[in-house]
Amino acid sequence: MSKTTKTIIGLVILIIIVLVIYLGAGKKTTQAPAPTTPTSLTPTTKETIKIGVILPLNGSVAYLGQNALAGITLALNEINKRGGINEKKVEIVIEDDKCLSADGVNAVNKLINVDKVIGILGPICSSVGGAALPIAQNSGVPVIIIAASAPHLTKIGDYIFRIYPSDAFQGKVAADFIFNKLGKKKVAIVYVKNDWGEGIKEVFKTRFKELKGEIVYEDGVLQNQKDFRTEITKVKSSGAEALYLLVYPNVGIIFIKQIKEMNLNIPVVGPTVFGEEVFTKSEISEGVFHTAPKINIPEDFKSKIKSLPGFENLQISIAASLGYDAAKVLFLAIEKAGLDKQKIKEALKTTSYQGISNPLIEFDENGDLKNPAFEVKIIKNKQSVPYEK
C-alpha cells in the first residue's frame, strides 16, 4: 500500500470519527431533560383561603356594591400584609349579582360548587338575599350579610349573619317619626316591588296602625321605573299628609323631582339609602327626611379607601365600612375556628368585635346585629344632618 493511499485512508477514518462525535453531541443536546422531582409546595389554590363576595357591581345600586368591595379590598390587603390567616393567604372570589335574584342564585351556586369558598360576604340587595341565601344555608356555608336588610333574611337559618340593622327597626322608627314628631296621621306609601321595599313597608304599616294612624294609599313601583306621575296624582287625591317613599336613591331623585313639578307639598320620608351622597348631593333632595342607622365612616378610614387603586374617585358611603367590618369579622372567625365551616359558624355566634361601622359588633340569637341605633335626618344644603324640631 503506497504512502499516498495510507494517507487518504487515514483522512477518511478521521472524518468518520469527527462525524460520529458531532452527530452524537447533537443527539445529546436534543434529548428531553430527565423528569424533575416534584416539589413539596401545594398548588396555590390549596394554599389560599377562598372567600366568596356577591355584590351589585352593575345596575342601579352599583355605587353601594363598589363601596362594599372597596372596604373588603382594604381588609383583604391588611390581612395578607400580615401573612394571612394561620399562615395562609386569603383570596376573594367576586361575583356581580346586579341586584337581581337570578344573578344572585347563579353567583352563590358558583361560589359554593365551583370555587369551593368557605364563607360568603354579601349581599347588599334583599331581593338577592331572599333567593340566594337558602342555597348557602343548605350547603352549610357561613354568610355575613353586608347591607341586605329585609327582616326575614336571618331567619333563613343559622349560617346567616348580618352586620347591618334589620328593617324591623327602620320601619318602626319611620312610623314613630311621622306619627309622633311630624304629627301626621294619614300617610301614603310608595315602595319598590322587591324583598327590601316590601319588607320595610310591612313593618312600617304594622307600627303605624298600632299608633292609630291611617294608610290612605299604597302602591309598588319598579326598580328601573322613570315616570311616577300616575302614582303622585293618586297620592295627591288620597288626602295623605305625608309620603313614605321606599325606593333606591337614583329612583328617589326622579320621583321627588316629579313631586315638586306636580306641587305635592307634603313631607317625604325615605329609607336609610337616602343618606348616600348620590342622593344628598342632588339639589332635588333638599328638605327630604330619612331614617339612618348610626353607622360610622371615620375620616382616616375614608382616606385609606381613597388610597386604593381603582377607588380614588369613589363617593364613599356606609357600605364601605360595612364591607370592611364584614370581612374582618369573617377573618376573625376563621382564625379561631380553622377551615371547618360549621366551626366558623359557631365562632361567628360568639363574635365580639370593635368595628369601624359600629363600636361593638355582636350577633343576637337570629344572627342579627345586637342593639342597633337609629335616628332621623334631613337633607340640608346637600348634607344629611340630624333632624331637630
Domains and CATH numbers, the chain: 44-164+296-358 (3.40.50.2300), 168-294+375-386 (3.40.50.2300)
Residue-by-residue DSSP string for 177-191: IIIIIS---EEEEEE
> Does residue 6 carry a pLDDT above 60?
no
The burial of 25, by beta-carbon neighbours within 10 Å (0-12 exposed, 13-18 middle, 19 or more buried), is given as: exposed
Q: How large is the average pLDDT for residues 338-342?
A: 97
Between 292 and 30, name the one with better pLDDT: 292
Helix (H, G, I), strand (E, B) or coil at 343: helix
Whole-number Å distance between alpha carbons of 173 and 194: 21
The top-scoring range by mean pLDDT among 165-174, 202-211, 380-389 is 202-211
Q: Which phi and psi angles does 13 have, rounded to 5°?
A: -60, -40
> How many Å apart are CA 204 and CA 269, to the nearest integer?
12
The three-point CA angle 284-288-292 to 5° equals 125
- β-strand 242-246 against 214-221: which pairing, if any? unpaired
Mean predicted confidence (pLDDT) in 24-29: 36
Pairing of strands 143-145, 160-162: parallel
| Tens digit of each residue's pLDDT (9 = 90 or more) over 209-229 | 999 999 999 999 998 899 999
Over range 191-212, report the average pLDDT: 94
In the structure grid, which three cell numbers stand for residue 223, read together? 326598580
Q: Which residue has the cell 337570629?
A: 366
Which stretch of DSSP H or E encloses residue 244?
Answer: strand 242-246
Q: Which residues pair with 144 in a beta bridge?
A: 121, 161
Largest Cα separation within the chain, whole Å, is 135
Per-position DSSP letters for 107-153, written without gaps between them = HHHHHHHTS--S-EE--S-HHHHHHHHHHHHHHT--EEESS---GGG
Convert the pLDDT of each residue in 253-278 to its tens digit: 999 999 999 999 999 999 999 998 88
Q: How far apart are CA 69 and CA 257, in angstroms?
A: 31
Global pTM? 0.74
Confidence at 37, pLDDT banded by 50, 70, 90 = very low
- The residue-averaged pLDDT of 41-54 equals 71
Would you place residue 34 in the very low, low, confident or very high pLDDT band (cuts 50, 70, 90)? very low
Provide the phi-psi class of 307: left if phi over 0, else alpha when psi is between -120 and 50, else beta: alpha
Mean model confidence pLDDT for the chain: 89
- The set of residues, in sequence order, having a beta carbon less than 8 Å from that of 46 and lying 6+ positions away, is none
Across residues 151-155, what is the average pLDDT?
A: 93
Q: Rounded to whole angstroms, how far apart are CA atoms 386 and 388?
A: 6
% of the chain exceeding 70 in pLDDT: 88
In DSSP notation, 56-97 reads --SSTTHHHHHHHHHHHHHHHHHHHHTT-BTTB-EEEEEEE-
Q: In what order do the strands lie in the sheet with 214-221?
A: 214-221, 186-192, 242-246, 268-270, 289-293, 374-380, 383-386
Contact call for residues 194 and 125 (beta carbons, < 8 A): yes
Helices (H), the chain: 3-29, 44-47, 62-81, 101-113, 126-139, 167-176, 195-210, 229-238, 249-261, 277-280, 299-306, 318-337, 341-349
Residue 28 reports pLDDT greater than 50: no
Give the pLDDT band (50/70/90) at residue 21. Answer: very low
pLDDT of residue 46: 54
Map grid coordinates 344632618 to a residue.
Answer: 385
Given pLDDT bands bounded at 50, 70 and 90, which one contains residue 389?
confident
Which one of 165-174, 207-216, 380-389 scores highest in mean pLDDT? 207-216
Q: Which three cell numbers stand for residue 322?
A: 360595612
State the pLDDT at residue 4: 46
pLDDT by residue (tens digit) across 299-338? 999 999 999 999 999 989 999 999 999 999 999 999 999 9
Q: How far is the CA of 373 from the CAs of 38, 126, 357, 362, in angstroms?
A: 57, 20, 12, 13
More confident residue, 42 or 75: 75
Residue 155 pLDDT greater than 90, yes or no:
yes
How far apart are the C-alpha atoms of 148 and 242, rounded to whole Å? 26
Q: What are phi and psi of 293, to 5 degrees?
A: -70, 145
| Residues linked to residue 162 through DSSP beta bridges, in sequence order | 145
